[in-house]
Structure formats: structure tokens, C-alpha cells
Structure 1
């Protein structure tokens, strides 16, 4: 369809997607992209607000004939998950995302693409820049830190908005209209580390888990994919039976809301034990190959001698707490919906393991469409920490988004889709965190939906965006905006 990036970026949506891809925008590093959005709005003489959380709100008046239509809030987030393949040279703090086309798909080169949620930003900018698209008054809000804490949306001042009709552009499936989502919380488990001097006559070895698919901890949790942190816990527990070793480092995953694809443990072994450890690692490689043959057939474990910076090893007590924590912290699907077939109701993902000087930090992303079940997972996680003598915190809590059976905006989008495509759009709920719940809590009476094009393997370096679907969703979105003069103000 498009033979080159130069040709693709002639389309306004992909023009702006290419422009924002030049700006690093990992969660917590949004100042540059936020300032870019502010300049964009002010250059077009649009009312533009940047708040302390770096959220940006840009307002555009209604086009002629739409002055009496209700104001529409359009929302997405500017940050992205930063993951890269092993061996890929890329600094997410300063390097642009390098785009490439494969057939009908847009990829990045060895990194996450940032279509989640750069597509929303590109749609919004293309709409704000256009002078030939009919629409009601618009209030575009682009938030920060959605991928880590939803801190941007939580910090938004509701007094900035007149609208009560809300269109979120953070969905990932064409032909589907999202009307409900899960709430969530981040659970952080801190294992205190007491370090001891490394025994004499030992050498450093690294055990590496690779080849897992990973994925979004909400959208892909039902796929049963291997979690590298949990697998590393099992492996280290298995090795501890009869094999003396010391732990120097444990690290895995980069984001709590991404199923970790990789994990590493640096251990110390006496020379006579290294061969036995290699044999046991090979046994575990075969075990995981068998267990994950359907979900992660490329899983592998590597055992190699390394030269590690000496920082001592975990005491036996710290080692026990670390391995027990990896083994016992809840992970994966916790309950399925009894009302919507196939919908995950509650889950948790042990997404990050990070060794610091005095503690091992384990971060989990907890999700549920039922608040009491979300609280139950958090409580069970806290009990694990209490039993093991570890610290525990749960924060970045955000609300679920309940289904509204009387939604006017849903009905309008359903009608327009049927008119445009001759078939009904599928109305769905998802087990992912969507900012609609936060805005619904802040703006009483909010009528919200979410939509977006087909994108795949988000939160992984294999993330890719369907180009025709992106254009189709854009055209559907514009057709729906055109019909909004029929809504009651």
C-alpha cells in the first residue's frame, strides 16, 4: 500500500506520528513531547494549557454549523513503554524511534514502536491542524505517565473541561468499540538485602532467560505466556536443592505492565559446582520448553561464566526471602468474568525485578474490573511480604470504568459504523487500564467510549501497527464527528 516512509508520511496522521516519534517520550521523560504539544497549539492560536503534571489540553472551537452541538473531549496519552531487543543500541532518553514498513505494518527498529499511544496523539494533532473537517467544539487532552501510574490523568483538573462526551483513542482493535475497562494498582514488594563477602575460590556465572513473547499485562495475560521473573524464581528454588550458590544480582523486566520477557541472575559458584549447575540449568531448559511449548516455543536459558562487579552476595536469609518472594507473589489470571465470556476479571503481573544496593524491588501490576477483587489481590500480596519480613506498598490506584447501558455516544458510533461499513461494530470490555475510569470519576455524568486501530505485541520490541486499519479508524472517527450535530447539547 505504501512503499516508503516518505510516501506514508504524506498522510496527516502518519506525518504527525513520524514527528512525535522523533521525540523521546518514555514514561517519566515527557517534558520534551509535552512542550512540543504546547508549541503546536499556540502556533495555531488555540487555547493551550500545560499543567504541573505536564498534561496538555488544547481547545478548538466548533466549525460552522456545529456551534450548538455538545463539546467533545478527545483523550490519549503521550508516553510510551520503552523496551528494546538485546543487542539493540538505543538510548530512550535521547534517540528517536526509527520507523520501518513491512507490508501493511509499521514497526520500529528493535524497540517498541510507541503506537500505544502515539496513534492517539497523531489523530489529535491531525484533527487540530485541519481546516476542512467538520466537528463540534473540541477539548483535546493528552496525559502523561499512563503506562506507569496514570499519574497524569489523576492530576488533571476537571475545571478545565466543559464537555461531558469523552472519546478515548487508546484502544488496539479495529472494528471494536470499548465501553468498559479494569481498574488497577501497582504493588511494590521490597526484599531487604544483607550482603556478605563472596567466598574464596568462587566464580561469577550468569543465568539468562530469553525468548519469551511478553506482551501487555492486561491485553495478553490470558495468553498464558511465561513470566521471566516467576520462571527465574522457580529455577533458583530448584537449584537451591542440594547446590550451594550465592546470589549477587537478580534483574528482570522493565515495566510492571509488561509481561517480562527476560530475566538474569548473577550467581557465585565454587569450581566443582559449576558443572553440576550447568546440568541442572539444562534440565530446566527442557522443563520450560515442554511447559511453554504452545505459548513461548522459543524460550531458552543460557548459563555462562562472566566477570561481575563484586558487590558481595546476598546473605542466606536474604537469598531465602528473595527466592520465596519470586515464588509466592501472586501472578497471572486470578478470576474470570462470569458475565462476559472470555473476559479476564482479575489478574496480577510481576513485571519488574530490580536489585539495588540494599534491596530487591519487585513491582506488580494488579488489575480488576471489581474493586473488591483488586483489593483482595493487593491484600494477599501484602501478606506474602508480611510473612517474609519484607516491605510492601500499593499506590498509583486508578478506578475501573463501568459499562453505561444508556450511552448516547456509543449508540452514535454504532450507527455510523453500520452506515459506513454495512456491518455492526463489536462492543467490548477489556482487562486493561484505560483512563476513561479516572475521567468518569472526575467528571460526573461523563459519557465515554474508546476506539483505535489494530496494533499488535504492544509493550514489546515486536510492536507493530496496521497501516490500513489506522486510516480506516481515522475515517470512521471523522464520520462520527460529522454526525455529532445530531446529539443533544
Structure 2
């Protein structure tokens, strides 16, 4: 940790070093919220927390800057809790074990929380600094962004006074984001009946691991594999050829992450065990060949386990398998107006059986910058699973953020970046759910923009943030605040 705190710019990394010590997984943010409130109050600043868990801190303009437009610096306090299967870590209690590796800061077997911890740290560093010049300033630290944007949805209109929102949740330095995708969650429920495990079968664990996973928006164009899809591809062939039956399934972990792992228990006729193992490994090798560039560490493992007492009924197994195979997943359509931008995608994020309630729950997150396209893919998912006998509902719908190429803050930041770094930053939209879409609906008069340092592989244990770009991000933020136009 001493190593982290000594990185430049110290103003940012020292705050981030504190955040690494405080557990802050989504839906368990009480400790980080209390810390943020204490941070603001320790500086003698007006600080509050609303009913949705959003922390708001206000700092008056520095002398001579009182006539500038008010700025809201915004980030989210929660982080995605992902860890490797062999890593022992309690996200509710343990600090993140961060370290420097080459030119990056990363974590030991877990997500780092640079998404959005670096952005939050930069906003708090501005509050703590007596050197940064700025106009009237508000810092908005939202709650539970990663699992539903609860804080942004719960923020009340009329609470904030600023005219410009600067979101710090983008992940490529040198780029300014002026638009984002909207999204909606599809919630799928199968009810099944138990069937008694027959005689003469063997219980086997079928595990799919080693996949990269990642952010289901930002990383979706990387064409990575989906561990749940891989699992059911193997199960489908094994059932049709060898009658393999499913007892339990546990795939994926978060609604907004590409599934890296899937674990299941199956049974197979004792005399056909070797055939199943051979066939499963054969299919695994085929998939590894197909995904050789994106999933070089994909691993399928089979091991004998205790014989389950009961199985998921055969009809539900068949219907669910077919639905998973037929489900639209990954990139659905690329944008016609912005080269290289994904317009619409879907990610099968979770699929888990519950022995106690005799249910199987699945979840998909559909994203699109076109609301009607989002609705169309959601309808397709509903059709596939309802045909398979499941119940389907939708929740957490949020709008996209339509780009405004005439934005005054966009022009200001382009000019500032060009003067400071000798080039004009790229203007982009992001295939992810920035809170700007929701916040802009509550404060339609806001002029909004998003930027950040370079972060790779967010929402996965491979997450890392580039040290050099954090310095540029900080310098750019400071220069922007000094050049905010007058009211």
C-alpha cells in the first residue's frame, strides 16, 4: 500500500489508497458512505447523504472564481465484487490487495475497484486541495450504480445547483464521452419438479472455468465466450447422445458481467461415464479452437462427486437447454452512425438452480443506444424463454444519453486538452450504462460530459488502471476546472 500511495499524482492515489481499505461491494456500501461523509466534514464542507445513499459535498468557489458556472463532479461509490475461484476474499470485510505491475495498478485475484474509485478519488482530491482553482463545486457520489443505478434513480430533482455535470466513470484516457447506452434487465424463472436419481448412474461435477469475463457493455465487442453458453453446449450434446441428466447449475455471478465460470452436477449411466468425459472434452476442445484468440485459458473439468438425491425434471432440462442455446447473446448490432460502437447487445449473465425452492433463475442485461432496439431484443428474450415454459419479467430499465455535439463543456474540454497535450481528444459514445442518462432526465438543463483514465478489464479480476493516464486525467481535470466558462 505504501507503493500505491507514493504514485503520482499523490493527491489522487492517497485517496484511492484509503478507498482500497474500505469494503464497498454493491448493496453493501454503508462503510464507504460513512467514510465519504466523514471526508467531506473533516474538510469543513457542507456534506449530506440522501435517502438513496448518495453523498453530496459542496465547496465554495476559490477567490476570484465566484462568477463561473457551477460544476458537479460525479462518480459512484460501489464496486463490482469479482474474484478468481481459487482466491479467498470477503468483499464485505477484506481490503483490496492492490499492487503495481509494470505501468499498471491491479489487484491480487480480485477486482480492483478503479471503476469508479479513481474517478471518486479525483473528485475528493479536488475538495481536499487548496491549489486547484474552481468555481462553485458540488461532488455527487452515487450509490449502487453497478447493480441498478439505484442512487441515480433515487436522486431528487432540485437538490443540486450546478449547471455542468462532469462524470468520471469513463475508461479510456484521451477520449470524451457524450453519449451512452440504455439498458434493461430480463429476469427469467423456471419452476421444476424433482425426479428421483435412478440406479446405476454416477454423479459428476462439470466445471467451466478460466474464461476472461469482463464488463458486459465495454467488453462485449471483444467477442469473449460465455461460460453458461459453453456449459449448455456441452450438456446439450451429452444429453442427446448419452442421456446425461442435470441435477444442479450455478453459472455467472453478476448481472453486468460476462460469465467467466459455470459449475454443475450431472449424472450419467455408469457404463457410459468414459464416453461422456471423452465427448465433453472433445466439445471443449472445439470451443477452445473457436475462441483461441479470446479465451486461451478456457478449461473444462470433470470430476466424480457425491451422487445427487434428485434431478431437475427432464422436460425442464430440455427446455432450458434449448432456450439457452437459442438465446441472442453478445453483439446484436453495430452503430450505423459511430464507427466501431456497439449499438445493441445482450448478455446472459446468470443461471442458477435453487434446490430448496425448486426454481432456476436466469438474468440477462440488454443494452442499446436505441430504445426501440433495446425493447426488441428484450421481446426476443421473452419469446425464447416463454416458449421454454419460463416466466419472464423486466426491471431496472434506464434511458440512454443522447449526444449533444454542440455542448459548451465539450468545446471547453476539447480546447483545454489541445492546449495542454497538443491534440484534440476523440469524441465518443460508450456501450455501457453511464448514470448521465438517468441524471439528465432529472436535470434536463445540465450540460454533461464523461471522461476518465485508462482502465482495462473492469468487472473482472484482471481489472487494472494505467498509472500514466491517471496523471493525465488529473491534470486535465484540474485544467478544466480552471477554465470553466462564466455564468
TM-score range, shorter-chain basis?
over 0.9
**Ranges of 4+ aligned residues in structure 1 off by more than 2 Å:** 2-10, 200-203
Paired residues in the alignment total 485
Mapping of residues 83-482 of structure 1, within 5 Å: 83-307=82-306, 310=308, 312-357=310-355, 358-482=358-482
TM-score, length-scaled by structure 1: 0.96
Q: Secondary structure at the match of 2:432?
A: strand
C-alpha distance in structure 2 between counterparts of 1:336 and 1:140, whole Å: 35
Q: Is the 8 A contact 2:9 2:474 kept in 1?
A: no
Per-residue Cα deviation, 1:188-241 (whole angstroms, up to 9, x for no partner): 111112112222333321111122221111111111110111111211111111
C-alpha distance in structure 2 between counterparts of 1:347 and 1:71, whole Å: 36
C-alpha distance in structure 1 between counterparts of 2:386 and 2:270, whole Å: 37
C-alpha distance in structure 2 between counterparts of 1:180 and 1:131, whole Å: 33
Displacement after TM superposition at 1:162 (Å): 1.0
Q: Secondary structure at the match of 2:448?
A: strand
C-alpha distance in structure 2 between counterparts of 1:32 and 1:321, whole Å: 44
Per-residue Cα deviation, 1:280-323 (whole angstroms, up to 9, x for no partner): 11111221121111221222211111236x45210112212321
C-alpha distance in structure 2 between counterparts of 1:136 and 1:346, whole Å: 39
Per-residue Cα deviation, 1:88-143 (whole angstroms, up to 9, x for no partner): 11011111101111121101111000000111111111111112211011111111
Q: Are 2:38 and 1:36 equivalent residues in the alignment?
A: no
Q: Is the 8 A contact 1:322 1:360 kept in 2?
A: no
Q: Are residues 400 and 131 of structure 1, via their aligned partners in 2, closer, same or farther at CA, if it must alter by over 3 Å?
A: same
C-alpha distance in structure 2 between counterparts of 1:10 and 1:344, whole Å: 34
Gaps of 5+ in 1: none
C-alpha distance in structure 2 between counterparts of 1:56 and 1:21, whole Å: 18
C-alpha distance in structure 2 between counterparts of 1:471 and 1:204, whole Å: 54
TM-score, length-scaled by structure 2: 0.97
C-alpha distance in structure 2 between counterparts of 1:319 and 1:272, whole Å: 22
Q: Secondary structure at the match of 1:158?
A: coil
C-alpha distance in structure 1 between counterparts of 2:269 and 2:52, whole Å: 51
C-alpha distance in structure 2 between counterparts of 1:291 and 1:260, whole Å: 18
C-alpha distance in structure 1 between counterparts of 2:56 and 2:157, whole Å: 11
C-alpha distance in structure 2 between counterparts of 1:9 and 1:451, whole Å: 19
C-alpha distance in structure 2 between counterparts of 1:53 and 1:15, whole Å: 27
For 2:56, the equivalent position in structure 1 comes to: 57
Per-residue Cα deviation, 1:168-199 (whole angstroms, up to 9, x for no partner): 00000011111111001111111112112222
Displacement after TM superposition at 1:245 (Å): 2.4
C-alpha distance in structure 2 between counterparts of 1:6 and 1:395, whole Å: 40
C-alpha distance in structure 2 between counterparts of 1:377 and 1:55, whole Å: 32
RMSD across aligned positions (CA): 1.5
C-alpha distance in structure 2 between counterparts of 1:454 and 1:403, whole Å: 22
Per-residue Cα deviation, 1:247-272 (whole angstroms, up to 9, x for no partner): 11111111121111111121122311
C-alpha distance in structure 2 between counterparts of 1:205 and 1:160, whole Å: 57
Displacement after TM superposition at 1:10 (Å): 7.8
Gaps of 5+ in 2: none
Q: Is the 8 A contact 2:234 2:284 kept in 1?
A: no
Q: Secondary structure at the match of 1:242?
A: helix
Q: Is the 8 A contact 1:49 1:56 kept in 2?
A: yes
Per-residue Cα deviation, 1:315-359 (whole angstroms, up to 9, x for no partner): 112212321232122211111111111111000000111221321
Q: Secondary structure at the match of 1:216?
A: coil
C-alpha distance in structure 2 between counterparts of 1:356 and 1:34, whole Å: 33
Q: Secondary structure at the match of 2:208?
A: strand
Q: Secondary structure at the match of 1:419?
A: helix
Displacement after TM superposition at 1:6 (Å): 4.8
C-alpha distance in structure 2 between counterparts of 1:6 and 1:63, whole Å: 27
Q: Is the 8 A contact 2:5 2:17 kept in 1?
A: no
C-alpha distance in structure 1 between counterparts of 2:144 and 2:179, whole Å: 21
